Structure 1
């Protein structure tokens, strides 16, 4: 029997916070395409991207990392409409996956990162850092799933999500998921959501900084964590500027 493809709904765990109306506007063709990336054993592949525009956008990447290989993905999501970056990674023995992402913006858009990291072999590591800054009624989401196979001993996996809400109507959602079948592993995750440090803003204002500059510097310090592991300074600056430019004239 031929299986008929259907659009996802919020009943699907990976789409529970998605903008389903925007998904329907995209249609099946807009969410079905995957980019396949293979990282050979012992090699490193780095991908840096700015995603999002003035129309719904879904980018889906499927990666396989060979033994001892390293895959790095760094992204800024700053679209004015629904924007989703989805990554599936399968790690070989001793491989590493590094992800650093920032979702930022206002309006009523939903911006989200969805990752599934499969530790298929022993001694692999992964680290994911996501920062979310939103205002208006916008939402920033991170759904991160880590799967550890039964024989994937010595796995070391971490996720860290922090959300910064600049207005009361905005939201940030984090859904960490762990599926662990090995017993000698380290898997950690953390999630916090808060507002700008008013004491820090007062301190900066007292030293002559405008409210706009103080906000920009505080947000820059907040989102900078996501790109700490990005060694290419030029790429790091482009990702930061793409994020910080969303602040101009928005509040």
Structure 2
């Protein structure tokens, strides 16, 4: 397996609208770095990132390598079809240079933990949900150093199937990228919620195609400080009748961080009775931070209900005054309002324990940037 050794080998676009806010120059450092952990070493202590009371299967990866010790057998395959349809450049790279592929199973809550210590790691995750089944996955990315974690996710929900995905990006530095290609069948559902925290640079791109009466929800929170660069590029395409979709993103940027969202809703000809919405809100903790928002609609049907909105601002002074009048100290008031702001993106999470876990991740990230 020949992994790219230079940034030029990857062929990242230099002039493309979808890449205008991305800065993945830190990948070059990772390409010339090596993992700090031995290739056959057992996983480090991952208890701080475990999901409390998780009783489902667990898969552990270190620098892209599957670690059998501590993992549940029967979920990893080493030979998969080289189908890269629907993925962008990063997703195709992950599938072409994968070391293993993971296949989730319906009726269970699978937890995947990836620990990065340096260098590049490519993961290929396949979520193929049969008709009428429910598939739940939690992905946690931790570690740090001069690392690049690149993930390709291929999701397919059959008729009436449900895929629920939670993503926790908690790497302490380095680069994290993902490419999601999803197909949502008749009356099926795809839902994901993401928490992007302390990683130095991140890019999440997703492309979903919806059939008749299908539903898709892509929500998440970005929390950045220092010189972090967090970038979301999404596309939800309605090809069937009666489809619904929602994209809710919240961003908090401090110091000189940059958070960006470029999302598009596409309604094909004949996709009548589509109901789609994009909701992007960002909070600037410092005026030296930057937030970019570019929601788009492309509609070729006439019986639709589609909307998008984007707001960028600072904490509500009236809300701060109200809390101060009730005896809440200024710092505590700012903390309360900021935590409530980011928690809005987790409302769609059905499991209360998981919702609390994502909230705790967000609070830790906010504490780090304040």
Using structure 2 for the length normalisation, give the TM-score: 0.63
Question: Which of 123, 147, 165 matches 1:47?
Answer: 165
Question: Which of 8, 13, 19 matches 1:8?
Answer: 13
Whether 1:138 and 2:143 are equivalent positions in the alignment is no
Whether 1:120 and 2:125 are equivalent positions in the alignment is no
Whether 1:102 and 2:221 are equivalent positions in the alignment is yes
In the TM superposition, residue 213 of structure 1 has moved relative to its aligned partner by 2.4
Aligned mates of 1:163, 1:203 — CA distance in 2: 21
Summarize deviations over 1:19-44 as a string: whole Å, max 9, x none: 14235556777872221011111011
Summarize deviations over 1:112-165 as a string: whole Å, max 9, x none: 222110101111110111111110010111111111111111111100001100
Summarize deviations over 1:142-189 as a string: whole Å, max 9, x none: 111111111111111100001100001011111112221112111100
Q: Which residue of 2 aligns with 1:21?
A: 25
Aligned mates of 2:238, 2:207 — CA distance in 1: 11
Distance 1:122 1:8, change over 3 A: same
Q: Which residue of 2 aligns with 1:207?
A: 326
| 1:108–1:136 contact (8 Å) kept in structure 2 | yes
Segment drifting more, 26-35 vs 231-240: 26-35
Aligned mates of 2:298, 2:91 — CA distance in 1: 29
Segment drifting more, 65-74 vs 23-32: 23-32
**Secondary structure at the counterpart of residue 234 of structure 1:** helix
Question: Which of 186, 194, 211 matches 1:75?
Answer: 194
Matches within 5 A, 1:201-240: 201-240=320-359
**Secondary structure at the counterpart of residue 306 of structure 2:** strand
**Secondary structure at the counterpart of residue 369 of structure 2:** coil
Question: Which of 175, 182, 197 matches 2:294?
Answer: 175
RMSD value over aligned CA atoms? 2.0
In the TM superposition, residue 231 of structure 1 has moved relative to its aligned partner by 1.4
Using structure 1 for the length normalisation, give the TM-score: 0.91
Distance 1:29 1:121, change over 3 A: closer
Q: Which residue of 1 aligns with 2:60?
A: none
| 1:38–1:65 contact (8 Å) kept in structure 2 | yes
Q: Which residue of 1 aligns with 2:93?
A: 32
Aligned mates of 2:28, 2:233 — CA distance in 1: 18
Q: Which has the larger radius of gyration?
A: 2
Greater RCO (Cα-Cα under 8 Å, separation 6 or more):
1
Q: Which residue of 2 aligns with 1:165?
A: 284
| 2:24–2:175 contact (8 Å) kept in structure 1 | no
